[in-house]
Amino acid sequence: MDSSPGYREFAPGDAFRKEIHCLWISVIPPAGGEPAPVLPDACTDLIWQSGVGAFVAGPDTGPAPAGGPPGSVFVGARFRPGAGGAALGVPLSELLDQRVGVADLAEVPGQRLPGSLPPAEAMRRMAGVAAQLVTERPADRLVLHAARLLARPGAQAEDVADLLGIGERQLRRRCQAAVGYGPRMLARVLRFRRFVSRIDAAAACGVTPDLAWMAAETGYADQAHLTRESARLAGLTPALLARARRAAAHPGQGAVR
């Protein structure tokens, strides 16, 4: 396994793609600039840190610090929106904006992920633990479907509830348990992730992003609406966020939940 500095993602097995977004590794460089903060993505991560062990990064509602001591290695499994609550055996509303050691989560076999593991073994075990968790405690399929619907530009929580044949109150309750927050917040976060993916793609191509066009294309009413949401969810204006993401994309500056 490549343990050079930076952040890399790997696809989970085909049997788990609906519940697990990816496996990942992040190696903090011996020295260098600060990595970009972690932004809300409606996902929940089970993370192993070298020399420390395992913890869970709950769903975020704003930017969270990234990184760790120079040379640290992090290995993670990222659960899709709607899968984390069941897999971890706890309502995700209880883990909102938190980082929690697995010793506090009875359903997570943290003893299989001690901090003394070599990174390659940590990745192997992480894949096995994540697969075990989603197999033993299947996700709420309705919420997984709701998350996919809410990820579409223009999606409204009340319309999704109608389409799924349930009331808004029931959808909110089930989303709070499985995702960490209700469908309206979920739609906001997923819309913002669409915008972040666009600025990341522009950075990869060396293109200056057209923020007004991206605001419309990703589902915002206008650029002012995007600016307000970017300030709330990332703590930065869209232009400053694009600049920070472009800088963090340089080798050796991976992001860690």
Q: Is there a contact between 82 and 177 (Cβ–Cβ < 8 Å)?
A: no
Note whether 13 and 127 are same-domain residues.
yes
Note whether 130 and 16 are same-domain residues.
yes
Note whether 113 and 215 are same-domain residues.
no
DSSP-based three-state secondary structure for 69: coil
User: Per-residue pLDDT for 256 more than 50?
Assistant: no
Cα–Cα distance for residue pair 157/135, rounded to 1 Å: 28
User: Residue 33 — very low, low, confident or very high, per pLDDT cuts 50/70/90?
Assistant: low
pLDDT of residue 4: 86
Q: Residue 66 domain-assigned?
A: yes
The mean pLDDT value for 8-36 works out to 89
User: Residue 34 — very low, low, confident or very high, per pLDDT cuts 50/70/90?
Assistant: low
Q: At what angle do helices 168-178 and 183-204 cross, to 10 degrees?
A: 60
User: Residue 67 — very low, low, confident or very high, per pLDDT cuts 50/70/90?
Assistant: confident
Q: Where are the alpha helices (DSSP H) in the chain?
A: 84-88, 119-136, 141-150, 157-164, 168-178, 183-204, 211-217, 223-234, 238-248
Note whether 103 and 152 are same-domain residues.
no
Cα–Cα distance for residue pair 206/210, rounded to 1 Å: 13
Note whether 126 and 188 are same-domain residues.
no
Q: Residue 255 domain-assigned?
A: no
DSSP-based three-state secondary structure for 39: coil
DSSP-based three-state secondary structure for 98: coil
b/e per residue 61-91 (b: at least 16 CB within 10 A): bebbebbbeeebbbbbbbbbbbbbbbbbebb
Note whether 40 and 60 are same-domain residues.
yes
User: Residue 251 — very low, low, confident or very high, per pLDDT cuts 50/70/90?
Assistant: very low
Q: Residue 166 domain-assigned?
A: yes
Note whether 22 and 101 are same-domain residues.
yes
Q: Is there a contact between 200 and 245 (Cβ–Cβ < 8 Å)?
A: yes
Shortest CA distance to 190 belongs to which of 223, 228, 229, 158? 229
In percent, the amount of the chain with pLDDT more than 90 equals: 82
pLDDT tens digits for 238-250? 999 999 888 876 4
In percent, the amount of the chain with pLDDT more than 70 equals: 95
Q: What predicted TM-score, i.e. pTM, was given to this entire model?
A: 0.92
Asked whether the CA dihedral 105, 109, 110, 111 is positive or negative, the reply is positive
What total of structural domains would you count in the chain?
2
Q: Residue 38 domain-assigned?
A: yes
pLDDT tens digits for 110-165? 999 999 999 999 999 999 999 999 999 999 999 999 999 999 999 999 999 999 99
The mean pLDDT value for 226-232 works out to 97
Domain that holds residue 73: 6-136
Mean confidence (pLDDT) of the chain: 93
